Every structure is written in structure tokens, then in C-alpha cells.
Amino acid sequence: MHTISATDPRLTWSGTISLESNANSTKPWRIPHQDQDIYSPGVSELAGRAEMPSGVRLRFATAATELTVVCEAFAEDGNFDLVIDNEIIATTAFVAGDSEVRFADLPAGDKTLEIWLTPAMPVAVRHIALPDGSDIAASEDTRLKWVTYGSSITHCRTAGSPATTWPGVAARGQNLNLTSLGFGGQCHADPLIARLIRDLPADFLSVKIGINIYGAASLSARSFRPAVLGTIATIRDGHPDIPLAVCSPIWGHDRETTPNAIGLTLQQMRVEVQEAVESYKKRGDDKLYYVDGLKLFDESLAEYLPDNLHPDAKGYQIMGQNFLKEVFEVQGVKIG
């Protein structure tokens, strides 16, 4: 066996914002890790969520029929997916304390692989081990770019596997190059995240705002709609004419009609998000779309919401399929 360093330029780190490398390993981040004091100040846990590589993939071409991804020891149980042409070819599980994830019996011949890293914990990759005589080559990703922003329901730590998060399902279904800015508990229409999205290359954008704001009572009835409008306006500063889908919260059990600490319900928040989008559309933005969260996951799917908040593994897959249907079929969003 021989090894390919995680810093090898032939490897593409997809879905990352920054990489933190030392002498032994490389860790992907979904914010600029060197600026985490301004992205995640004070007691905020955003940095801890951004350190978890939801939607992050290692991409390269190879003819190898087996390989091993060698990492720093994992803190929890989890799994990686190996994907070829948007199809999950293999899912390999690991347990806490393991440091190797092996894929065997891969298709013969030249192929481009994407290894989807677990969304559930930080991952620091040391190298990829290949059989002697095998090598890798760079594989440019020319697919259209999708950046999405959301809460734990977009982070999807409890998805069945990394490529079956709802953004993973939707990205593979639409053949898109995904960057997922889903941060468990940390989607509060943060201005720095809106600025980050503004400055990222993108062909399609989506944001899903509300549930964390409800749970933490972080914005009031007075400030919630302006925050949604500010997010849209900031993103539009950098992306004035590409499709932007703004999603309201999915069905939330008692949260539908029970006011939170500052008097908001999910039903009211959907109205606020929809009216914010409509206000912006009236000013000539014909590529701005409102997506009702109930079109993605409603009460009829309650059996897939085991904690009355987060979809389970099956629920996330259904949500991804519903996103594809609502956005690209019903609303007819065209990218590129």
C-alpha cells in the first residue's frame, strides 16, 4: 500500500469553506476557521457545528478497486459514503476510536470518486491508502454550485449516511456541487453568514430560516422579518440574478401554535418569511422563490419526526425528494 497525503493538490475538498492543516492531518471547516472569533463569538456554538463536515466530500479520479481513508481517531460512531456519478456505491461504518474507513470491491477502471464525510463530528484526514500500483488524478468538478443555509434540520447529523442528508439527496438528484451551511442550533440569520454566502461562487442558493430562532427566542416579532429581509438583501449584493429559494420552517408539532418565549409560533413565522419574500419580489426580483416548509415536511410525515423536531433517516430522504419536487418541478426553478 502507498499513501496520498490529505494535502495532495490532486484531491479536491468539495463543500468546504476553509481547511485547517498541520503536520499530521487536514480538517475541513464550513466557516473561515481562522476567523471563528467573529463568526462564532462569545458563547456561540456555531464554530463547533461548522467544524463538522456536513456535505463535505473528497473528490479524485482513480482506477483503484479498494482504498482506505486514514483519519485522526473518531470521537463517535459514524459512517462515510463512497459515491460515483451521484450513486452511493458503498457505506462504511466506524466506531469511536477507529481511525480507518475502508472501501473495497469498487468498480474496475477509471472513475471519479466522492467520499462523503460524516456530518456528525469533526473529521481530520491524515491520508488515503491505495494498493501499490494504483494512483489518483485530479477530477475537476464542473457541476453547477448550490449553497444552502439552515439549522440542524439542514446539518442532518442523524441522517442514515452522509450522502442521504436532505441536501445530499437533493444535490445528487439535481447533479449539483453542494456546499451545506447547515449548523445545528445556530441558524439565526447571522449577518456574517449572509456575507459569507454573498461572497461564495454559486449558481443556486437556498436558505431555511426559523426553527432555531423559535427555539432560542433569539429574534422577536419586531426583528424576525427584518432579519430575513437583511439576509436576502446581503446575499443579493453578491448574487443579484441567480435563483434564491427562501424556505420557512417544516412542521413542528406543538410549536405550530404554542408561542415561544417572545410570542412567536411557527405558523406566524411562515407568514413573516412569505411576506418578506413577497416584499422583495415586488421590487423586481423574479428569481426569488418562497418555499413553504410544509411542502417539504408536513404533519402527515409525523411518524418520521421521532423527537418532534428532527426528521429521522427516512424523513431526511423524503424531505430531500420533496425539495426536488417543490423547487424544480412545482415552482420550475431553472439553474444556469
Write the pLDDT tens digit of every residue in 320-334: 999 999 999 999 999
Question: Residue 43: is its pLDDT beyond 80?
Answer: no
Q: Residues 275-299: pLDDT tens digits?
A: 999 999 999 999 999 999 999 999 9
Across residues 296-309, what is the average pLDDT?
A: 97
In the chain, % of residues over pLDDT 90 = 98
Task: Map out the domains of the chain as residue ranges.
Answer: 2-137, 145-330
Across residues 86-91, what is the average pLDDT?
A: 98
Question: Residue 308: is its pLDDT beyond 80?
Answer: yes
Across residues 156-168, what is the average pLDDT?
A: 97
- pLDDT value at residue 12: 97
Q: What is the mean pLDDT of the chain?
A: 97
Residue 41 banded pLDDT, cuts 50, 70, 90: confident
Q: Residues 184-196: pLDDT tens digits?
A: 999 999 999 999 9
Picking from 330, 320, 335, 235, the residue whose alpha carbon sits closest to that of residue 276 is: 235
> Which CATH superfamily does the domain covering 145-330 fall into?
SGNH hydrolase (3.40.50.1110)
Q: Is the dihedral of CA 207, 121, 168, 140 positive or negative?
A: positive
Across residues 254-266, what is the average pLDDT?
A: 97
CATH number of 2-137: 2.60.120.260
Across residues 73-83, what is the average pLDDT?
A: 98
Query: pTM of the predicted model, to two decimals?
Result: 0.97
Across residues 56-68, what is the average pLDDT?
A: 98
